[in-house]
Amino acid sequence: MARIVLKFGGTSVGDVERIRNVARKVAAEVRAGHEVSVVVSAMSGVTNQLVGYCREIDPLHDAREYDAVVSSGEQVTSGLLAIALQKLGIPARSFQGWQVAVRTDGTHGKARILSVDTAPLERCLGAGEVAVVAGFQGVAETGRVTTLGRGGSDTSAVALAAALGADRCDIYTDVDGVYTTDPRIVTKARKLARITYEEMLEMASLGAKVLQTRSVEMAMKHRVRVQVLSSFEEAPGSDLPGTLVVDEDEIVEQELVSGIAYSRDEAKVTLLAVADRPGVAARIFGPLADAAINVDMIVQNVSEDGKTTDLTFTVGKADLDRAKQVLETSRAELGYRQVVTDPDVVKVSVIGVGMRSHAGVAQRMFSALAEKGINIQVITTSEIKVSVLIAEEYTELALRALHTAYGLDAA
Ligand code: ASP
Ligand code: MG
């Protein structure tokens, strides 16, 4: 007997028929003798609709009430799935976040889980019932309902798996695993049998939407074995290998690069003729940080004349207008000539723990892009990734070229 946590995303519970299908999968695991907890998302489209209602009434709504509203989607699904399970003769009951309790900090709309009390779940499992938990939600110290940020039910599932000491955490979604890159763009993309926590973390934070970034952080911290798989297959999950997210030492054949991610969410900002002296960067990035604007890639040139230089960096596309405003306001003080922005860029990253021990990974990327005549605007690297910023129109071409260059193409 294993203790497992199953999580079903929005499309997997998109309508009543899909919920019945999920109930059959859960029932199969129960009948196989496992102790099962289930975490559910809202039915697909529901959270967006609820967010829309809040914005319609007041774009600057009270975040606590936003949480009261948007958490309702998961409440509905948890109850419906419990009913569907009971209908199949499987004892089950629903739990809302506060009933578990999933305790969070008070950052409404993007709360962090602090702890999970497992006693009520243990009692439920001990009584031979399936616990169906509403994902995405928790309760703050104030007693108010919180939500964990979009995509947060992945994090609910991993947190529960960690707290329960589960043997497995299966995340059912609308794709059947983690791919080497976006299969909608690169037809030769391959499903990965395994990927390390670190690589998955980079993939998630770089734009692969399969798992919420925080869920991967949590899985890595607590060494939860996560499996990503599709709920659209008929066989129960245990028979169907999706992608396993695991420790590095569980990877048998280490590729140089495991995946290629891309993000269209960034915009480029260039400050022309910035004074080249100590303290300038601090003065530029300070006000941006104060305005809660995240800066990602940064390059600064050497100055030819020893006086001024250009500074280029990226911010989230959604923050571009605010960033411009902040920079304009402090223009006199910062002493630059002009600010030029470009939203039509894409960040493409190659990721792999294999590059720690191999040279030439970045070079292969630069050559592959050069061969296609793609200009690289900004480059950043870390221990397990190389990212470049290029014109957005080359996204498809770059992904395909890199996929081939790193030998990732399916046979
Ligand atoms: N329903 C929430 C969302 O759409 C949480 C989730 O599905 O993970 O973001
Ligand atoms: Mg999701």
**Which tens digits make up the pLDDT trace of 259-316?**
999 999 999 999 999 888 888 888 899 999 998 899 999 998 877 777 888 999 999 9
Q: Which of 113, 109, 110 is nearest to 65 (CA)?
A: 109
Which residue owns the Cα nearest ligand 1 atom 6? 151
CB 387 within 8 A of CB 369: no
Which residue owns the Cα nearest ligand 1 atom 8? 151
Q: How far apart are CA 248 and CA 198, in angstroms?
A: 8
Ligand 1 mean position, distance from CA 359 (Å): 40
Q: How far apart are CA 347 and CA 262, in angstroms?
A: 5
Q: Is 14 in the pocket of ligand 1 (CB under 6 A)?
A: no
pLDDT in tens, 166-188: 999 999 988 888 999 998 899 99
Q: How far apart are CA 307 and CA 342, in angstroms?
A: 25
Q: Could you please state the CATH topology (level 3) that the domain comprising 253-411 is classified under.
A: VC0802-like (3.30.2130)
Ligand 2 mean position, distance from CA 48 (Å): 13
CB 114 within 8 A of CB 105: yes
CA distances from 393 to 351, 369, 372, 400, 402 (A): 22, 13, 13, 13, 16
Ligand 2 mean position, distance from CA 328 (Å): 37
Paired sense of beta strands 243-246 and 194-196, if any: parallel
Burial (CB < 10 A; 0-12, 13-18, 19+), residue 384, is buried
Instruction: Name which of 130-134, 250-254, 362-366 the model is least confident about.
Output: 250-254
pLDDT at residue 141 is higher than 80: yes
Q: Which atom of ligand 1 is nearest to the CA of 150?
A: 9
Q: Which atom of ligand 1 is nearest to the CA of 153?
A: 8
Q: Which token pair is 392?
A: 């957005």
pLDDT-based confidence at 234, cuts 50/70/90?
A: low
Instruction: Name which of 22-36, 110-124, 287-301 the model is least confident about.
Output: 287-301
pLDDT of residue 357: 85
Burial (CB < 10 A; 0-12, 13-18, 19+), residue 127, is exposed
Q: Is 47 in the pocket of ligand 1 (CB under 6 A)?
A: yes
Q: What is the percent of the chain with per-residue pLDDT over 70, rounded to a whole number?
A: 98
pLDDT at residue 389 is higher than 50: yes
Q: For 336-339, which contacts have Cβ atoms below 8 Å and span 24 or more sequence positions?
A: 336/271, 336/272, 336/273, 336/274, 336/275, 336/311, 337/272, 337/273, 337/308, 338/271, 338/272, 338/273, 339/269, 339/270, 339/271, 339/272
Q: Which token pair is 362?
A: 């970045």
| Averaged pLDDT, 97-114 | 96
pLDDT of residue 233: 66
Q: Which token pair is 125?
A: 């499992």
- CATH 3.40.1160.10 spans which residues of the chain? 3-250
pLDDT of residue 237: 47
| Averaged pLDDT, 135-159 | 97
Q: Is 151 in the pocket of ligand 1 (CB under 6 A)?
A: yes
| Averaged pLDDT, 199-216 | 87
pLDDT at residue 236 is higher than 70: no
Q: Which token pair is 342?
A: 């470009």
Q: Which token pair is 209?
A: 């939407």
| Averaged pLDDT, 219-248 | 81
Q: Is 11 in the pocket of ligand 1 (CB under 6 A)?
A: no
| Averaged pLDDT, 9-20 | 96
Instruction: Name which of 1-5, 66-70, 154-158, 249-253 the model is least confident about.
Output: 249-253
Q: Is 10 in the pocket of ligand 1 (CB under 6 A)?
A: yes
Q: Is 336 in the pocket of ligand 1 (CB under 6 A)?
A: no
Ligand 2 mean position, distance from CA 89 (Å): 29
Q: How far apart are CA 132 and CA 328, in angstroms?
A: 51
Q: Is 42 in the pocket of ligand 1 (CB under 6 A)?
A: yes
Helices and strands (H, E) in the chain, number of each type: 14, 20
**CATH class for the domain made up of 3-250:** alpha beta
- CATH 3.30.2130.10 spans which residues of the chain? 253-411
How confident is the prediction for the chain on average, in pLDDT?
93
Ligand 1 mean position, distance from CA 212 (Å): 10
Q: How far apart are CA 405 and CA 366, in angstroms?
A: 10
Burial (CB < 10 A; 0-12, 13-18, 19+), residue 241, is middle
Ligand 2 mean position, distance from CA 9 (Å): 6
Q: Is 75 in the pocket of ligand 1 (CB under 6 A)?
A: no
